[in-house]
Structure 1
Amino acid sequence: MIDSLPDQVTTVRPPHGLPGRTSTVTRVIDTATAPGNGPLVLVTGPLGIGRSAVLAAVGDGLAERGHHVLALRVARNERDRPYSLAARLSAELGALHRGTDTRRAPHAAAPVTHPEAGRHLTAVLRAAVKSGEPLFVLIDDLHWADPASRGVLLPKLRSLAGSPVTFVCTFRTLPATTENDRVTLERLRTAGLAHVVPLRPLHSREIDALVAHELQAIPSASLSERLRRDCRGIPSAALGAVAGYRRAGSLRVVDRHAYLASPDRPPEMPPGQPCVEHLRGLGAPVWPVVKALAVLHPLGSAATRLIAEALDTGEDEVRATLDSLRAEGLVCHGPEPGHWRFRLPLHASSLTACLGQYERRRLSQLAVTAVWSGTATAQGCYFAEHLVTAGRFVDPARAAEELFRHGSAAMLEDGHSAERWLRAALDLITEPEPRARVLTVHASTCTIHLRHAEARESAWAVLSRYADLVTAENLLEMEMVYIVSLAGMSDQAALTALADEGWRTLPGGPGHRIICRYNALCLLERWQEAADHLAATREEWSADNDFVAGVGQILDEISHAFLGRPRDFDRAVADPTRWPLWERGPRHRFQRLSWLTRTLMTFGELAPAQRLLETYGLPSGYRPVSDQVVADSQSGHWDRALDLARRALATGGWVGDLTSHTMASREMSVILGARGRINQARSVIENARGVHSMLPHLLAGPEAEQEQSLGATERAHRVISDALALAERLGLVIGTDELWLRRTEMELNAGDPAAARRCAREVARVAELTGTGRSRLCHLIATSMAHRNPAAAAEAVALARHRDQPLELADTLVTVVRHGQADPGLLREAYAVYGDLDALLRKAQLRNLMREQGVPVPGRSATIAENERLLAVLVTEGLTNREMAVALGCSEKSVESRMTRLFKRAGYRSRVELASAMLTGDYTV
Structure 2
Amino acid sequence: MNPHEADTSRNRLMLAEILAFTDDVPLVVVAGAIGSGRSTLLGQLAAAFADRGTKTHVLRLSPNPVTPSLHSTLLRRIRGSAEPAFGQWPPADLPPSGSPERAAEALADRLIAAGDTAILIDDAQWMDRLSAAVFDHLMRRLAGSPVRCVCAVRAPIPLGTFQAGRDSFTRLRADGLARGVALRPLAAADIAVLAAEAFEARPDPELVTRLRRLTAGLPAALAPILDQHRGTGSIRVVDGYAHLAPGHAIATLPDSHPLLMSVRRLGSRAWSVAKAVAVLYPLGDALPSLAGTTLGLRQSVVREVLGALCAAGVLRHSTVGGWRFRVPLLAATIAERLGPFERRQLAVHAVNALWTGENRYADPNYRADQLAAAGKLVEPERARAELLAHARESERYDQRWLRAAIALCADRGDRARTMLAQTAIALRHGDPSRALLDADALLAEFAGELDADEIHDLHRIRALAAHSSGVWDAPEGSDGDTVDAAVARATALLLRGRWQDAVAVLEAEWETWEAVPAAAFHGQLLTARAAFAFGDLKQAAYGIEQARLRLRPNDRHERGEVLGFEVLTLLAAGETAGVPRLFAMRSASAASLPAPVRAVLAMHSGQFAESLRVVRKVLVAGAAGGTDLAETFMHQAAATVQLAMGRLSRGRELLHAARRQRPPLPYLLDGAEALIDVALGQSDQARTRLREGLDYATEHGLLAGTDRLWRQLAELALGAGEHATAAECLDRLAEVAGPRNVQFMRVRSLVRCDRAAAAETVRLAREHGEPFELAEVIVTLVRSGLGDPALLTEAYDLLGGLGALLPRAWLRNLMAKHGVPVPGRARTVAENERLLAVLVADGLGNKQIATVLQASEKSVEGRLGRLFSHTAYRSRVELAMAVLTGAFPG
TM over 0.5: yes
Q: Which residue of the partner structure matches residue 7 of structure 1?
A: none
2:38 is the alignment partner of 1:64: no
Q: Which residue of the partner structure matches residue 374 of structure 2?
A: 390
SS at match of 1:300: helix
The correspondence for 2:442, drawn from 456, 462, 469, is 462
The correspondence for 1:362, drawn from 345, 351, 356, is 345
Shift of 1:352: 1.7
Take 2:5 and 2:820, find their aligned partners in 1: how far apart are those partners?
44
Take 1:642 and 1:370, find their aligned partners in 2: how far apart are those partners?
43
Take 1:288 and 1:302, find their aligned partners in 2: how far apart are those partners?
17
The correspondence for 1:323, drawn from 307, 314, 322, is 307
Would you say the 8 A contact 2:59–2:89 is kept in 1? no
The correspondence for 1:502, drawn from 478, 484, 493, is 478
Amino acid at match of 1:731: G
SS at match of 1:20: helix
1:442-481 correspondence to structure 2 within 5 Å: 442-481=422-461
Q: Which residue of the partner structure matches residue 825 of structure 1?
A: 790
Would you say the 8 A contact 2:60–2:123 is kept in 1? yes
1:256-306: CA deviations, max 9, x gaps? 434444599853334433211121233322212112111111122221122
1:213-612 correspondence to structure 2 within 5 Å: 214-227=198-211, 229-238=213-222, 242-243=226-227, 250-261=234-245, 267-335=251-319, 339-379=322-362, 380-408=364-392, 410=393, 413-417=394-398, 419-492=399-472, 494=473, 497=474, 499-506=475-482, 510=483, 512-535=484-507, 537-538=508-509, 540-541=511-512, 544-572=515-543, 576=545, 581=550, 590-602=560-572, 604-607=574-577, 611-612=581-582
Q: Which residue of the partner structure matches residue 28 of structure 1?
A: 18
The correspondence for 1:172, drawn from 154, 157, 165, is 154
Take 1:561 and 1:653, find their aligned partners in 2: how far apart are those partners?
22
Would you say the 8 A contact 1:415–1:445 is kept in 2? no
User: What's the TM-score once normalised by structure 2's chain length?
Assistant: 0.89
2:776 is the alignment partner of 1:842: no
Amino acid at match of 1:869: R
Shift of 1:477: 1.3
Q: Which residue of the partner structure matches residue 121 of structure 2?
A: 139
Q: Which residue of the partner structure matches residue 666 of structure 2?
A: 696
SS at match of 1:392: helix
User: RCO greater where, 1 or 2, for CA within 8 Å and sep 6 or more?
Assistant: 1
Take 1:558 and 1:97, find their aligned partners in 2: how far apart are those partners?
82
Amino acid at match of 2:835: L
Amino acid at match of 2:47: D
Take 1:491 and 1:655, find their aligned partners in 2: how far apart are those partners?
13
Shift of 1:364: 1.3
Q: Which moved more, 1:647-656 or 1:809-818?
A: 647-656
Take 1:904 and 1:640, find their aligned partners in 2: how far apart are those partners?
34
Would you say the 8 A contact 2:457–2:518 is kept in 1? no
Take 1:822 and 1:891, find their aligned partners in 2: how far apart are those partners?
28
Would you say the 8 A contact 1:294–1:352 is kept in 2? yes
Take 1:556 and 1:375, find their aligned partners in 2: how far apart are those partners?
51
User: What's the TM-score once normalised by structure 1's chain length?
Assistant: 0.86
1:61-210 correspondence to structure 2 within 5 Å: 61-75=48-62, 77-78=63-64, 80-81=65-66, 83=68, 89=74, 91-96=76-81, 114-115=94-95, 125=107, 129=111, 132-174=114-156, 179-209=163-193
Q: Which residue of the partner structure matches residue 3 of structure 1?
A: none
Take 1:797 and 1:84, find their aligned partners in 2: how far apart are those partners?
84
The correspondence for 2:729, drawn from 750, 755, 759, is 759
Would you say the 8 A contact 1:680–1:877 is kept in 2? yes
- Alpha carbons of structure 1 residues 192 and 610: separation in structure 2 relative to 1, 3 Å: closer
Take 2:430 and 2:191, find their aligned partners in 1: how far apart are those partners?
33
Q: Which residue of the partner structure matches residue 681 of structure 1?
A: 651
Aligned length in residues: 882
1:62-100: CA deviations, max 9, x gaps? 22334343333334x43x4454666655554444589xx
Would you say the 8 A contact 1:118–1:152 is kept in 2? no
Take 1:786 and 1:862, find their aligned partners in 2: how far apart are those partners?
37
Take 1:374 and 1:824, find their aligned partners in 2: how far apart are those partners?
69
Q: Which residue of the partner structure matches residue 42 of structure 1?
A: 29
Take 2:338 and 2:739, find their aligned partners in 1: how far apart are those partners?
61
Amino acid at match of 2:495: L
1:576-613: CA deviations, max 9, x gaps? 25876268676665544443433454555534555444
Cα RMSD after superposing both structures = 3.6
Amino acid at match of 2:58: A
Would you say the 8 A contact 2:125–2:165 is kept in 1? no
- Alpha carbons of structure 1 residues 400 and 543: separation in structure 2 relative to 1, 3 Å: closer
- Alpha carbons of structure 1 residues 720 and 753: separation in structure 2 relative to 1, 3 Å: same
Would you say the 8 A contact 1:848–1:889 is kept in 2? no
2:825 is the alignment partner of 1:860: yes
Shift of 1:452: 0.9
Take 1:883 and 1:114, find their aligned partners in 2: how far apart are those partners?
76
- Alpha carbons of structure 1 residues 689 and 271: separation in structure 2 relative to 1, 3 Å: farther
- Alpha carbons of structure 1 residues 328 and 589: separation in structure 2 relative to 1, 3 Å: closer
1:394-413: CA deviations, max 9, x gaps? 343442233223334x2xx4
Take 1:586 and 1:391, find their aligned partners in 2: how far apart are those partners?
27
2:636 is the alignment partner of 1:666: yes
- Alpha carbons of structure 1 residues 114 and 366: separation in structure 2 relative to 1, 3 Å: same
Take 2:2 and 2:675, find their aligned partners in 1: how far apart are those partners?
33
- Alpha carbons of structure 1 residues 459 and 619: separation in structure 2 relative to 1, 3 Å: farther
Amino acid at match of 1:688: A
1:873-898: CA deviations, max 9, x gaps? 22332333322222211123322333
Take 1:504 and 1:194, find their aligned partners in 2: how far apart are those partners?
83
Amino acid at match of 1:314: R
SS at match of 2:843: coil
Take 2:502 and 2:547, find their aligned partners in 1: how far apart are those partners?
23
Would you say the 8 A contact 1:42–1:170 is kept in 2? yes
SS at match of 2:151: strand
Take 1:218 and 1:619, find their aligned partners in 2: how far apart are those partners?
30
Shift of 1:229: 4.5
- Alpha carbons of structure 1 residues 619 and 607: separation in structure 2 relative to 1, 3 Å: closer
Shift of 1:421: 2.0
- Alpha carbons of structure 1 residues 391 and 637: separation in structure 2 relative to 1, 3 Å: same
Would you say the 8 A contact 2:234–2:248 is kept in 1? no
- Alpha carbons of structure 1 residues 433 and 95: separation in structure 2 relative to 1, 3 Å: same
- Alpha carbons of structure 1 residues 827 and 247: separation in structure 2 relative to 1, 3 Å: same
Take 2:674 and 2:98, find their aligned partners in 1: how far apart are those partners?
79
SS at match of 2:459: helix
Q: Which residue of the partner structure matches residue 884 of structure 1?
A: 849
Shift of 1:115: 4.8
Would you say the 8 A contact 2:57–2:119 is kept in 1? yes
Q: Which residue of the partner structure matches residue 4 of structure 1?
A: none
Take 2:247 and 2:739, find their aligned partners in 1: how far apart are those partners?
41
1:598-637: CA deviations, max 9, x gaps? 3454555534555444323459972211111111111112
- Alpha carbons of structure 1 residues 712 and 315: separation in structure 2 relative to 1, 3 Å: same
- Alpha carbons of structure 1 residues 49 and 873: separation in structure 2 relative to 1, 3 Å: same
Take 2:127 and 2:113, find their aligned partners in 1: how far apart are those partners?
27
Identity %: 34
1:747-794: CA deviations, max 9, x gaps? 222232222222332222322xxx595xx3222222222333333323
Flag structure 1 segments of 5+ consecutive residues without an equivalent.
1-10
